[in-house]
Structure formats: C-alpha cells, structure tokens
Structure 1
Amino acid sequence: MTKYGLRARVFTLTLAPTLIIGLLLSAFFTMSRYRDLEHQLISTGASIIEPLAISTEYGMADHNREAVRRLISYAHRKHSQIVRSIAVFTNNNELFVTSNFHRNFEALMYPDDQPFPMLLETQLNENNLILRAPILREGQFNNSSLPGYQAETLGYIALELDLSALRLQQYQEIFTALMVLLFGLTLSSLFAYRLMKDVTRPISHMVSVVDRIRRGHLDVRIEGQLLGELDTLKNGINAMAISLSEYHIEMQQSIDQATSDLRETLEQLEIQNVELDIAKKRAQEAARVKSEFLANMSHELRTPLNGVIGFTRQMLKTRLSTSQQDYLQTIEKSANNLLTIINDILDFSKLEAGKLLLENIPFDFTDALDEVMKLLAPSAHEKGLELTLKVDNRIPTGLIGDPLRIQQVLTNLIGNAVKFTERGNIDVAVEVKADREENIDLQFMVRDTGIGISERQQAQLFQAFSQADASISRRYGGTGLGLVITQKLVTQMGGEISLTSRLHQGSTFWFSLRLTKTDLPVSQPIDTSSLMNRKLLLIEPNMQAASVIQQRLIRAGIHVTYRSTMPDEAEHHDFALLNLSPGEQPPLASVLDMVFKAEQISDKVIVTLPTTELALSERLLNAGVTACLPKPLGHRKLYETLVTEPDMLGEPEGLPIPQAAPRILPITVMAVDDNPANLKLISALLSERVETVITATGGRKAVEYAHQKHFDLVFMDIQMPEMDGVTACQEIHKTELNHTTPVIAVTAHAMAGERERLIKAGMDDYLTKPIEEPILEQMLAKWTSAHDSHPDNGLANGTGLTEAHHPESSTEQAVTADPNISWNWDLALKQAAGKEDLARDMLQMLLDFMPEVEMLVNEALDGKEIDLWPPIHKLHGSCAYSGVPRLKNLCHRIETELKAGASIRDIEPELFELVDEMNNVVKASKRYRP
C-alpha cells in the first residue's frame, strides 16, 4: 500500500472537496441550461409552425400555391436567423410548396408507411431541428363539437431550424462553468499552500531533526517559534533529545566497562581452550593406550584361557572318576566365566567406539534359539529352575540377520534371569508383531520368577559398570556390562529393549527386532509325515513346559494326551514322553517304575532329563528306554528321535549319511579364483560332478581362456587383483565363443542387495562362500538342463531341483562347535565336502600363507604405508574352507572396515587380535592332526 506524506495529504484534502463540489454544481447547472436552450428553441419553432398550419388551411383547401408560398416565405424571412427551410406537403405526402430550395426534401417528409400525426411533432438531430404540424380542415363546417368527430387532414407543414446558434450558446455556457471551476480550484490551491507553509514545513523540519537524532547527532535541536500544538511538539522533541544524549553517555560508559570485562573473559576462555585441547589430546592418547591395552590383554588372557579350556575339554573326553570330572567341569566353567567377562569388556569397548560390525546372513532361527537354551540349561537346572522356549508357529524357518548377536542378547538376558531367580520358571517366548512380504517384526520375551527390580533400581540397569543394588555384585558376581551391551546391540540391530518388573515378583525383559525372510535352505528339513495321527502320552509336572512341548507335537500332527503324573491305567499310545523336572531328584526306583508303566502302554518310551541328571541316562537305557534327551527339548532333536527307528538311536552322532554318488555331467566348466585354497576346493567339488574343469588364477587369465575355448558354465570370483570378476564377466560375454555362457558370481559377501548388484552388472547368478554341495548341485542343475536329455535325471525339461530352490545366496551351515575354539576339524571336514585329504591341503595352504599376512600386519602396525586389504581379503577367502570361524569373522570385520576407509590406527585392536588368532590356529592345528 502506497504511503503518502503530510504535504500530499493536506493538498489532497484541501482541493478534493472544492473540485468535487465544483464539478457537481457545474455539471448540474450546465445540463439545466443546455436543456433550457433546447426547450426554448422548440417553443420558438412551435410558435412559428402552428400559426402557419392554421393560416395555410384555406390555401391548401383551394390549392392556392401562391397564397401558401407568400405565408411561408414571410415567416421564413421574419425568422431567417434560425429557420433553414419551410415546406408544405399534401395529404398524399407530396411537396406542395417550399420557402426555398432544399437539397434533401426526404428528410422533411414523413415516411410513406406511417400515418400523419394529428399533433405537433419534433425531431432533434445533430445539426438541425425538424418540426411537423398537420394542416386540418376546420373552417367550412362547425362540427367539432359533435362526439367522435375527426377533422380532415389536408397535409402537413415541415419546419427545419438551424442549431448552430444554439450549440454556440451551449458551448459558451460550458466554458463559463469551467472558468468558474478553475477559479475555485486556484483559490483553494492558494489556501492549501498557505496551510502547508504554516503546518507541513515545520513538521518536515521536525522529521529531519528526529532523523539526525536517530543517526546519532544528539546535539541537534529545533529552533524558532511555532504555532499552537507544533510548538508543544517542538519542546517535546528537544526534551527527548536531551534525555537521549544523557542516556547515550551512560550507555557508553557501561559499554566500555562491559568491553573491559569481556576482554578479560576472552583471555580466560582462551586459557581454558588451551587446557581443553591439552585434555583432549590426553584423552585421545588415553583412548589409544586403552585400545592397545585391550588388544594386549585380549592376547595375554585369551591365549592361556584357550589352552585351559581346550585341555580341560580334552581331559573330559577321557575316563575319569566322578570327583575328577567334577573338578574339571568346575575349571571349565570358571574359565568360561572369565572369558565371558573379557569378551564383555571388549564388546563394550567396540560398541563405545562404534567399531562393532553386524553380519547379515541367512540362518535357521529355531536352531539358533535352541543352541542358546542348550548352553544355559545346565546353570538353570543346577538351581532347580525350569527353562522353556516357545516360538510362534508363524515365524519362518529361515531368516536373515546376525544370529551370533541375537544369541548374545538372549544369553545375557537368560543368564541374568538364571542368576537372579532361586525357584520357579524361566520362560522364553518369541512372537510375531508384524508380518510383511519381505520382513517380519519379532518380539522376544524373557520372564522369570526371581527377585524382581524396584522402579528406582530400574533406572540404573542400562548404565555401564552398575547393577541394581551394590550388594548384587558381591552376591551374584558380574561386571555390570551385560545389559549395557545388550541394549547397544539391540539398538544397533534397529530394535528396542525394555522391561517390566515388580520387587519380589519377577521380571520380564523384552526386545524387538526386524529380520528379513529368506527361502534359502538354511538347514536340512525334517520329514515328520510319518508322525501324522500318531498318539503320544506326555508326562510333565511343569505346566508351562508341558504347554510348550504339547504345541510342538501338535504342530507335527501328533495326538497328545497330557498328564502331570504317570497314570496307573491308560489306553495304548505309539509314544510315551516322560519329563523329569529339575531339582526334584526322584528316587531311581520311582523313575524305573514310571518307565515300566510307560512301556506297558506305548511302543517307544523317551525320557527327558535335566542336565544335572544325565548320569541316569545309562541306567534308563539299560532299563529299556528308547532314548534319553536333555532338557529343554530342542525341536529338531525331538522330531529326529520320534521319527528314528529305535535300533538307530544308539549310533554315534556326526557320521555322514551315505548318499549316492552324483552323476557326472558332460559339460566343461571354468572355475576362476585368485585364492589357491578356494580354487582347489571348488575345482575338487566340480570334478565330482562335471567331466572337465578348467581353473584360472585370475580374471585376466579367464578372459584369455574364453577366447580359446567354449565353456558351458563359468564360476567367477569377484574380488581379484588386476581384473575383478565383474569386468572379467563382461569381457567373457564379448568373446565369440562364450558370449552366451552363463557366468555365476562366487563371493564371500552375502549382504543384502549384493545379488541384485552383481546380476545388474552382468552376472547370470549368485553363489556365496563357503560353497555347500547341495547348493552347488542345484546351481549345476539349473544352468545345465539343456545339456542333458536323459529321461530320468529330472533335468531334461528344466525341472528337478531348480523348481524347488533357486539359490540366491548360501550360508555356512552351522556345525556344533564352541566359538572359543580356534580350529574345528569337523567344521573343516564339512567345508571340504567330507574329503580329509582336501581338508588337510586347505589347512596347510592357510598355514603357509599366514606368516606373510602376519609380517605385513606387523609392518603396518609399525607405521609403514602398506595396503592391507588384498592380503586380508585373500586370507578371508582361505578361512572359509579351513574350519577357523573365529579367524574368518576377524578377517571379515577388518576387510569391511578397510573398505569403508578405516585407518590402521582405527583397527589397531582388531589387527592385534588377528595376529593372536593366527598363532592360536597354528597351535591348535599342531595339537590335533587327524
């Protein structure tokens, strides 16, 4: 909106009323005068034409043109200043006589299609005025008084008047009005000017003075004598200027004082910044020293502890007395507790530094939970606690996540529940919160009947090196880091953790996670079809444990009859499952009596024992029991025991099931890998299944072979020097011989999105390390169906294994092994497809390569500029087939951090741990040579 000044407002408000009123009055009087002049001219014309209409009656009646002409000519001459022409027309609308010649008589005539008017008619045009009056016959007969009489029309007379004089007079009137209006405006302007001089000029001066005061000229004043209120305003402005001047002086003094104080403060802050910088450097140095200390302590403590634990377990495998076995078990338990404390401190340090990396691999969810329950069952059963696991039926078998960290979280929570519970149950449950197409949200709950936690104590639970009560650490032990590590692990996995508890009434810890579904074969499925509609008698004193077992059995289609104690009489069943509760220790005679009764009413008797009562198993087996299983029952072990024939249960575990030798496919395959161990393994696996295997030690070599020979299939490693697998694949597809040959990516990176990235880059399929034989067979069946037309092999029409599974990724199937053992021969044998010679060769190649890696790592730790990623990557690939899971995980973490741009200083603790672990592998391999 436009803002007008005072001068413009005064000028506008002074002239606007004069202008508006003048315009209105001038317009009113001009229009009135304009119309009066027109009416006056019409009246004059009427006074001329009406007498002529009466006078020409006799001339018209006698057709005396001369008489009529004299009349109208006289009238024309008498009023010649306004009359242009006078014409008389007959009743036939024909010109009878005119006063002078007229160029356009049609303008004076009535239209032929209109009747003559009986009264005077006027027609005002732009430049003339035409009047028409009828000529009536009224002189011969006096019948005008008769009703309905109408005089005869003899014709009419037309008079044309000139409007020039009229228009001139009208213009004179308008001009006069405008002059009067202009005079009024001029007079108003003089008054407005005078008003602005007396009012606006002083005000403008005041505005200028105020503006100078605003800009800091506080000594400026308004001088002179002004009128009325303006003089009062002048005095006020001068007084304000005086006050501002005094305030400015005071404020300047305050600013000077504040500036002096601020200068002193800044000097103090500068000193503090120097001190903080020194403290920061000291803290960084302390953190570095702490990392070195933790790494050194990891080496110094883990090495003797691994020896203690390893030799203790070896001793436990020998024949021992009961006391010796008890002592060794105590030693092993104490060593494991100490190792747990060390691992807690190291994990906490890594979590605090943000260096703990999570895996994202497929795994069998229920098997992973059963491993945790199996690990913690002895400590729970020693205290007489019942430990149960309930898994929601909607949870799929295969999920993708970090099973080790999930197990670590559950181990911490269940371990705390066991520690702080004296009697009752510890119930673990996993439920589905949300089930989506690709992901599933799970909620884990650990309930106990222990001492509980007060509301005040709950606030301290997730603080480092603290416990709910100061007396707890003295009574129950512990570092106070378990829940802190648990919370940080859950948070890093994208979940949340909390608890509900009341003092002396138990606690419930829960945490939620989002995991990804997978259809990959993460474990060997169990065929439970033979158990459908079979009958089982379930004896379980604990209601919660009975409910969990009953749900698992019903899921397999078994009809379950539940009793809390052994009935004296019952109908016949196919199975009897007798469960002994921990802590009760019933007499052997009572147990044997219960087994005898069960044998009378069932074909197969299975007894589950607390881990503290496993010594009874031999007596019970001798008494005729089909099998003795430890509590809590793992779902896989339970189903396997039910479906296995009684004469097969006594065989040693771990022996491979004989399988038919795979059929040799008549194809030529090229295997490409820069790691000799990996290349040797995949070559050995392929040689058992295809006729010809060509090996290439790098991408460039593979491209050379592709130019020389056609291959039916290519297995390509991704991370290789000189030329990586993706580039080699693209070059192979450009060759004339192999432009359509399928190239399968073989990589140790089984992270989300890796398969899509490689296929988008040109690969035809995706296979992860370590290579599993079933997955390899499925891959061969998928891509070689066109090469085989045998009617019985299931490949001729592209069916068979490829319809059941599309191997997008694979993972190392779990082999039951202690994670604290550096080398596991069973795992190495499994990774080498059961071939002992190949497993030994793989281990020896790993041992031969480790000194080179150790030398490079030590040089990097000494400060030399060395690129550690290639040797660590190569070592990582070798670990995948040598039964060294701890070394493999270490290599994976270091390789991932190096790819993310970490410096040697950032991964210094992991490098120390890598050197220690390589030494542990060497020692472990020397102690045991199969």
Structure 2
Amino acid sequence: MSLTRRAFLLVLVIQLLGLGLLALDGWKLQSSVHQEQLHSEKVVELAELLRLQDAFSDFFMTVDQLRRKPDTDIVRLALVESSHIIELMDGLETDWTSTTQAELLASLRAQYWGIGQALSLLAGREMEHRDELTNAAVTAVYSSTYQLQDLIRSLQDKLHDDERLRERDLRNQRQAVFLGMGLWLLLTSILGILYNRITLRPWRELAKLRPGRINLEELERLEYSNIPELVAIGHTLGRLVQGRNKLHLRHQQEVDLLNRQLAESNRVRNDFLAGISHEIRTPMNNLVGNLELLDASLGEQEDRRLILSIQRAVDDLLAVINDLLAFSRLENEALELNPIEFDLAQVVEAICDTHTHLAYEKSLDFVCILEAGLPEMVRGDAGRLRQVLNNLVGNAVKFTETGHVEVRVSQMHHTDRQCTVCFEISDTGIGIAPDRLAHLFEPFVQAEGSMSRSHEGLGLGLSISRRLVELLGGRITVRSQPGRGSVFTFKIQLDIMRALRAADATSPPLLLVENHAGLCEAVHACCSDLGSRSTDVDDLGSAIELLRYPDGEDWNRAVVLLSLGAIQNADRALVDEFIRALPERSTLALLVHDAVELQPLLALLPPTQAVIRRPIRRTAVRALLDNKRTSGIMGLRWVENLALETDSTTSGSPTPASEPAAPPARGASPWDSWRILAVDDNPVNLKLLQNLLEKRGYQLLTADDGETALQVLEHETVDLVLMDCMMPRLDGLSATRRFREREKGRWTRVIALTANAVGGDRERCIAAGMDDYLEKPVRRAALYSMLDRYLPPREMPDEIPEPALSTPVVKAVDVQRSEEAVIAQETTNEPDRLNLKVIQDDSDGDHEFESQLIQLFIRDARRRMGSLEQAIGDGNAGTVHLEAHTVKGICAGIGAMAMCQLAYELEQRSSSGNLAGAGELLDSLRAEYGYVEQQLDAYLQLQADGE
C-alpha cells in the first residue's frame, strides 16, 4: 500500500472517532436539558401546593371560629374561602399530569365541595343544625389538610430525589467527558505512533545514511523498502550522490596532485636556494678570510679603504643570500622561537654599533635612546629580535641621506614577571607614499618602483621582519610622509629575569656638552637609571659659565662629557678657557665616532682621560661613572675597555669584547696567574682548547672524562673548569654534581661545553651546579669573552691604542657575519662539506698546530668509525648514540659540517633506541669522511709546498 493511501485511512479513522465522541456528548446534553425541565415543573407545582396549604390554613381558622361563635357573616366568609380553595385545586388539576396527584386533588376537591354545600345549608337554615354541620366541616377540613400535607411532603421528597439524581448525572457526565478526552488522547497517540511508523520513520532511516555512503544496495536493505515513494526517492538520491561522489573524488585527486606539485616546487626551490647559498658562501668565506688577513698585513690607508670596500660588497651579498634563505624558511613555516636570557640593552646597542660606520660616512646623526626603567636581563628570542632590529635599522640608515636616524626603546607597562617593550626606529629619509604603505610588508615590495635601482635590496627585509614580529607575538606598524621620513614601531612581550641594577647614590654628576637633543636624552636616561644627576649645555661658553658658577652642584667630582659637535666651531681661546674652567678632580671624556676624530681633539684637549664611541651605550656610561667613583680613571682610556674591566669583576651579564686580545708574550701575560682544567673526551676539541688557552698564557690542565677530572680536582686547585657535557664513563653533569658535593669552603667556576645550548641542556647544566655554558664548536672570541667574565686579566694597558680607520667597521662586519651564520644555519639544510676557515681561525696561522690537529682528527675519526660499525652490528644503541655524539663534535671542530650533520642524524636516531637505517647512515658517513680526509691531505700538502 502506498504512503498516500495509508495516510488517508489514518485520517479517516481519526475523523470517525471524533464524530462518535461528538454524538455521545450531544445525547448527554439533551438528556440533561429534559431533566432540567422536569425539575422546573415540579418546583412550580410545589409552589402552588404551598399556596393551597396557606388557603387551607385560612379556611381552617374560619371554620374553627364558626364553631365557637356561629355567625352568618363567618359562614359567608367560609363559603368564599371554600370557593377559593376549589379554584386553586382546579388550576392544579389542569397543570399536573401525574395520575396519583390528579386523583388526590380530585378527592380533596370533592371534599371541599361537600364542605361548601354544608356551609351553604348552614347559611340558609339560619343556624339550624349548627353543631352538626360545623363538626362535619371541621372534620372535613382536618382530613383534607392532612392529605394536602402528605401530598406536599411527597412532592418535596420527590424534588430532593430529583436533585440527587441531577447531581449524580452531572458527576457521571463530567466523568464521561474526562474519560472521552482520555480515550481521545490515547487513540490519537496510538494513531500518531502508527503514523510515525508508517510514514515518518522510513524518512528518518533514510536521513541517517551519510551522503557519502548512500547507494542502492543500502536503500534496498531498509526496513520499509517496500514503500514505493521512498524507494523511488532513494534511488534518485543514490544516483545523485554517487555522481557527486565521483565528482568530489576527481576534484580531491586534482587537489592532491596540485599539493604534491606545490610541495615539490617548494622543495626544489629550497634545494636551489640552499645550493646557491652553498656554492656562493664557500668561496665568499675564503674571500672574507683572505681579506681579513690582507687587511692585517697592510699599512697604507688607501689599501685599507679598498679592502673595506670589498668587505662591504661581500657582506651585502651575504645579506641578500640570508634574506632569501630566511624568507624561504618563513614561507615553509619552519621557524620556531628559541627563548633565552639576554641583556636587552646589549642586544639593541650591538645592532646600532653594526650600522654606526655607514651612518657616520653619510654624516647622519645616529642615536640610540634606551629610556629609563628598562629591565637589565629579559627572556625571549634574542636572535629573532636581533634580526628584526637589524633589518629596520639597516633600512633606516640605507634610505636616509641627510638628517638623523633614531632608535628608541621604551617600556610600555609591566608586571613583576613580564613587560611590554616598544621599539621605535625613526628616520628623516625618503619616506613612503601613502598608496604603497598597504603593500609595504609584502615580499619583494619596496617604497618606490625605481628604488631597487637607486638602493640595493630585494624588498624582503620588511616582509621577514613583519613575520618575525608576529612570531614573537607582536605587530609592526609604520607612519611615513614622502620626503620627511618614516617611523617603524613594534611591541613585544618579554619575561623579566632581572630588573635594572639599583641606582648608586654616590655616583658622580655628569655634565654633557652637546647640542643634539636626541643624544642628550639618551645620556639623561642612562644617568637616571644609574642614579647620577646629569645636566646638558649646548656649547663651551655655557659649560664654562656653569662650571664657574655651579649653583650648588659639586663639579669637582663630575664627569664632563664633551662631543665633537659642541667644539667644532669654537676658537682656540674658548677651548683654553674651558680647560682652565675644569675643576681639578673632574674627569674630561670625549664622545667621538672613531680615532680619526679623536686625534685632533687630543691635541686640542690634553686633559682628556676617557673616550666614548658614538652612539652612546648604557654600559659605557655606567663604566665611566663607576670608574670615576672608584678609581678616578687615571690615564687615557677607551671606555669600552673600562666596561670590560667593570663587567669582569661583577656578577652581572658580561659585555663581550669587540675583539679578543692579541696573544701576549709568554711569561708576561695578564692571565698567567689563572689555572684552568679543560675536560673533553674528544682529542680534537681538547687540542683546540689547549691551543687557544696556552696562547693567552693560562696555566692548563686536561682530562678526557669525568672520572679523571674528579681525580685532578681532588689533588689540584684550579680557578675554572671547562666541562664537556656528554662523555663516556662519567658525563659532565654527573661529574659537576659530585664535585659540588665534595667542594668545601669555595666555589670553583664550571663552564659547560654543550652542543645543545638552544635546547634543554642549558637548564640541566645550571641545575647540575654549572655557572655558565659555551656552545660547540667553541670559537676564540666567545671563549675569551667568557673567560674574561670570570677570570679578569691581572692588569690592562693604560695607554689608549690608536685604532686603524677600519677598526669599527671590522667590528660591524664580525657582528653581522656571526648573525648571518646563525641565520644560514637555521635556513638551510645543506651545510658546507669542509670549511677550512674553521681550522685557520682556530690555529691563528700556526701551520704546525694545523697539521697536528688534522692528524689527530683523522686518527680519532677512523677509530670512532670502527666503534660505530661494531656497535651497530651488536645492536647497542647507547654506544652508537655516544660515539655519534663524539664524531659530531670533532667534525664541527674541524669544519667538516656535512659529516657533522650525518653524525647528528645518527645520534638522533639512536637516542630512541631505534637503529633502523643506521647502517646506511654509517655508509654515508664513511663516504663523506673519505672526501674530508682527501681534502685535508691536499691542504696539508699545499701548506708543506708553500713552506
């Protein structure tokens, strides 16, 4: 039966049930109306009987009066009342239909008619037979009265019975209505369920089927598949869905194909960029190294300028390569944050130092303002922050020809643990047109279409900076006007690790003679953080007046900081007057860009005791004030050296030296009083450490594992320990813990040597009792800077060295190159196979040491290969992990970066206990070792032929 017929039958049944219930209710209503009418009639009859009863009472009283006093008038009154009673009974007899009641009324009427006749006789006979007639009338009245009362009582009982019946009928009727309603609800519910099963349930079962799974076979297996309409609709839906599924499958296959093609395209692009980087970077590194060696051997300034020009071109090319690699890595979303603890001021000032020379060449006012209140040590990704600042500051200097570039760092708001730091880089450069601001942070977009011809660059710096700032949780904005300059601003959150060092109330005052507002603000902010009162004047005349009339300020213990801009237009007489005005115990410091500016100033101002490079650094101002407070700064000093001395004797964060000091003559070293224990199971690394430490004059002890190191420390007293973290027998962490347990009464500095300083090894080193850490491979500048922090030199030369013209630029190049190396390491997956520059840097031109180092590497690498082969064959993942870690270290120390990468992969694979594929990695490692060994032999042969 079809759905239509089933639905029609159900509706018909529901309608018939409704009609039946309505008919029943009508019958009940009609019966109730009839009963109500009967009841009303009985009520009327009762009322008439009561009137009749009243008439009987009046008649009874008249007859009784007649009996006591016969009188014609009373007889006549009795006749009238008797006639009235008969009329009332005639009316009742006419209205009533009950037989019993009618007979009773007829009997009463007959009796009263007889009474009336008797009364008439009594009135006609003039009271003859009075007594007899009167008694008969009274008897008749009594009898009729009793009968009438019986009739009224029976009628009243009848009415009461009718009332009870009516109440019972109403109650029954209500029950019937409620029962009918319940029956109706029950029947409609049953019919609704039947309708649901017959009509709606099949549709719900059809709806339960997922669109991607509907097919004809499933529809045929449905419980109600015999419903023609449902089957027809299901077949239609099945065909539609099957067609759609085929279309969706085809589209999905096309999308998968496009995704694979896109992934392959990205891989090819990244491989291409990595290959380009490798092919360009290798000769570039050699070129940079040879240029540095050539620069050190030349004496003519013109030759140095040519070398400097070539160095800048190389650095620009490396910057382009690094931008491409960084952009590629950002496109693939492969960059991750690496939060570390760092000195915020040091990072910002180091970036400013990088771009100082170019700003100086373009005669720009370049100032770095660190507003008061900034924390000293924070935690965040210093590398990403450094990269963003380097891009923004570099662009500001590059696109500004006249005017100024200002770097401002301020603290917006902070809690005890976090702060929001705002970085603002403003310039007076070419500016940006409003219509190009919206596209400024897109890749390969610059401010003007012709800018790529007038200003070098790919247009990737701002795009990379925006993504890095977003990765740091901030947002970068720009305000600009064409021809008036630009302001780039970004804010990030940093964790506060250590607030600014408490201000020293004994700090000497500082008088700044400078007419540049930005520089004055920078100096005032530094002095405010350090607790020193600072005052600025525009020229020498104002300074002379202030020094002669101090107005309550004690300038005898002050530091007078004088800039080139304040005296460049002053005559000699005014300068001499300024020198005479200087208080006897004050310190005169000069603020210059480099030694070229310094030489004429020294001749003009012989009392000069300290020199500060521009832009001003907070560490330099602190060193200047601290040394004035403690020692008075005797002799001429570069404040950078003062800062190094100050930081090496405090517990604060070190300020790394710009360049490692030259190796002193043996026996006259300022470091020869310090004893150092170097612990490393890698003989190549140990040889490198020995060479670097002995060149500085340190007293050196060595150990090849943790057990040996503990034995040495038990019998020898040392000032510092360089401890490798991963070693056989006893690792560096465990050895440090045992040493700390044994150590009594003193604290020996322990520096960790770790290859995983960016991971969790840092925290584990500190927890084990180590004081600091160095990343492997250890570089000379980093090692010397770390040692100077904990083992300051015994004395430093008092004479100020006169740096060559290229000194600041070499520093900038080194800083930039170290950052580029980090970026390159993060953005490429194909390392240099063999970088001989690593060996050359570590040997410092000592060919004999190079030969010893290479022979040591070849011998140890062969032995490690055999150990790896045996461990892989035995399935000993722990030994494989340890040996691979050691091979990684010696390869990094020699510059064999491809071998280092393969050893790292083998180390990572074995760390989980899974040696699947380890044999293939070992084969690749052996093949790469063959190449490295061949290249090293060729290099040694070339050195021998050169000698």
Normalised by the length of structure 1, the TM-score is 0.54
Cα 1:303–1:775, aligned 2, differ >3 Å: closer, same or farther?
closer
TM alignment of 1:494-509, pairs within 5 A:
494-509=473-488
Does residue 726 of structure 2 align to residue 719 of structure 1? yes
Could you give the per-residue CA deviations for residues 683-735 of structure 1, whole angstroms, max 9, x where no partner exists? 99999999998945367x899x89xx99999997543457756678999999x
TM alignment of 1:377-388, pairs within 5 A:
377-388=356-367
Q: 1:427 aligns with which of 360, 384, 406?
A: 406
| Cα displacement (A) at 1:339 | 0.9
Q: Which residue of 1 aligns with 2:635?
A: 646
Cα 1:327–1:445, aligned 2, differ >3 Å: closer, same or farther?
same
The unaligned stretches of length 5 or more in structure 2 are 1-13, 33-160, 204-226, 549-554, 642-658, 792-810, 822-833
Cα 1:816–1:534, aligned 2, differ >3 Å: closer, same or farther?
farther
Q: 2:564 aligns with which of 565, 580, 587?
A: 580
One-letter code of the match for 1:463? E
Residue correspondences, number: 663
Q: 1:768 aligns with which of 773, 781, 787?
A: 773
Query: Do the aligned residues in 1 keep the contact of 2:513 with 2:537 (CA within 8 Å)?
Result: yes
Could you give the per-residue CA deviations for residues 568-593 of structure 1, whole angstroms, max 9, x where no partner exists? 853356654332359xxx9x886867
Does residue 519 of structure 2 align to residue 545 of structure 1? yes
| Cα displacement (A) at 1:889 | 12
Q: Distance in 1 between matches of 2:324 and 2:415?
A: 37
Does residue 886 of structure 2 align to residue 874 of structure 1? yes
Query: Do the aligned residues in 2 keep the contact of 1:641 with 1:649 (CA within 8 Å)?
Result: no
Cα 1:194–1:333, aligned 2, differ >3 Å: closer, same or farther?
closer
Does residue 371 of structure 2 align to residue 392 of structure 1? yes
Q: 1:599 aligns with which of 556, 569, 579?
A: 579
Find the residue that maps to 2:526 and give its secondary structure: helix
Q: Distance in 2 between matches of 1:855 and 1:301?
A: 34
Stretch of structure 1 that moved more, 254-263 or 424-433: 254-263
Query: Do the aligned residues in 1 keep the contact of 2:422 with 2:490 (CA within 8 Å)?
Result: yes
| Cα displacement (A) at 1:639 | 5.4
Query: Do the aligned residues in 1 keep the contact of 2:347 with 2:386 (CA within 8 Å)?
Result: yes
TM alignment of 1:750-769, pairs within 5 A:
750=757, 763=768, 767-769=772-774
Q: Which residue of 1 aligns with 2:682?
A: 675
Q: Distance in 2 between matches of 1:897 and 1:468?
A: 46
One-letter code of the match for 1:460? H
Cα 1:926–1:897, aligned 2, differ >3 Å: closer, same or farther?
farther
Q: Which has the higher strand share?
A: 1
TM alignment of 1:401-480, pairs within 5 A:
401-454=380-433, 456-480=435-459
Does residue 350 of structure 2 align to residue 371 of structure 1? yes
Query: Do the aligned residues in 2 keep the contact of 1:716 with 1:743 (CA within 8 Å)?
Result: no
Cα 1:266–1:650, aligned 2, differ >3 Å: closer, same or farther?
closer
Q: 2:601 aligns with which of 599, 615, 620?
A: 620
Q: Distance in 2 between matches of 1:722 and 1:871?
A: 13
Query: Do the aligned residues in 2 keep the contact of 1:599 with 1:605 (CA within 8 Å)?
Result: no
One-letter code of the match for 1:416? N
Cα 1:210–1:192, aligned 2, differ >3 Å: closer, same or farther?
same
Could you give the per-residue CA deviations for residues 657-695 of structure 1, whole angstroms, max 9, x where no partner exists? 97587698xxxx998653345667999999999999894
One-letter code of the match for 2:256? D
| Cα displacement (A) at 1:415 | 1.4
Find the residue that maps to 2:615 and give its secondary structure: coil
Q: Which residue of 2 aligns with 1:214?
A: 199
TM alignment of 1:462-541, pairs within 5 A:
462-518=441-497, 532-533=507-508, 536=511, 538-541=512-515
TM alignment of 1:225-374, pairs within 5 A:
260=239, 262-319=241-298, 323-374=302-353
Q: Distance in 2 between matches of 1:559 and 1:344?
A: 44
The unaligned stretches of length 5 or more in structure 1 are 22-175, 219-247, 781-813
Query: Do the aligned residues in 2 keep the contact of 1:429 with 1:446 (CA within 8 Å)?
Result: yes
Q: Distance in 1 between matches of 2:418 and 2:850?
A: 38
Find the residue that maps to 2:726 and give its secondary structure: coil
Q: Which has the higher contact order (CA 8 A, sep 6+)?
A: 2
Cα 1:505–1:186, aligned 2, differ >3 Å: closer, same or farther?
same
| Cα displacement (A) at 1:317 | 3.7
Cα 1:375–1:776, aligned 2, differ >3 Å: closer, same or farther?
closer
Q: Distance in 2 between matches of 1:204 and 1:876?
A: 81
Cα 1:831–1:575, aligned 2, differ >3 Å: closer, same or farther?
farther
| Cα displacement (A) at 1:369 | 2.1
Q: Distance in 2 between matches of 1:690 and 1:307?
A: 31
Cα 1:527–1:758, aligned 2, differ >3 Å: closer, same or farther?
closer
Q: Distance in 2 between matches of 1:768 and 1:926?
A: 37
Does residue 537 of structure 2 align to residue 563 of structure 1? yes
Q: Distance in 1 between matches of 2:603 and 2:686?
A: 50
Q: Distance in 1 between matches of 2:739 and 2:682?
A: 20
Does residue 615 of structure 2 align to residue 632 of structure 1? yes
| Cα displacement (A) at 1:819 | 5.1
Cα 1:482–1:658, aligned 2, differ >3 Å: closer, same or farther?
same
Q: Distance in 2 between matches of 1:600 and 1:825?
A: 58
Find the residue that maps to 1:633 and give its secondary structure: coil
Cα 1:319–1:374, aligned 2, differ >3 Å: closer, same or farther?
same
Cα 1:358–1:898, aligned 2, differ >3 Å: closer, same or farther?
farther
RMSD: 6.9
Query: Do the aligned residues in 2 keep the contact of 1:875 with 1:891 (CA within 8 Å)?
Result: no
Cα 1:291–1:923, aligned 2, differ >3 Å: closer, same or farther?
farther
Cα 1:765–1:620, aligned 2, differ >3 Å: closer, same or farther?
closer
One-letter code of the match for 2:726? Q
Q: Which has the higher helix share?
A: 2
Q: Distance in 1 between matches of 2:510 and 2:175?
A: 122
Q: Distance in 2 between matches of 1:194 and 1:404?
A: 86
Normalised by the length of structure 2, the TM-score is 0.53
Could you give the per-residue CA deviations for residues 573-627 of structure 1, whole angstroms, max 9, x where no partner exists? 6654332359xxx9x886867655543433765443456xx53433333444536
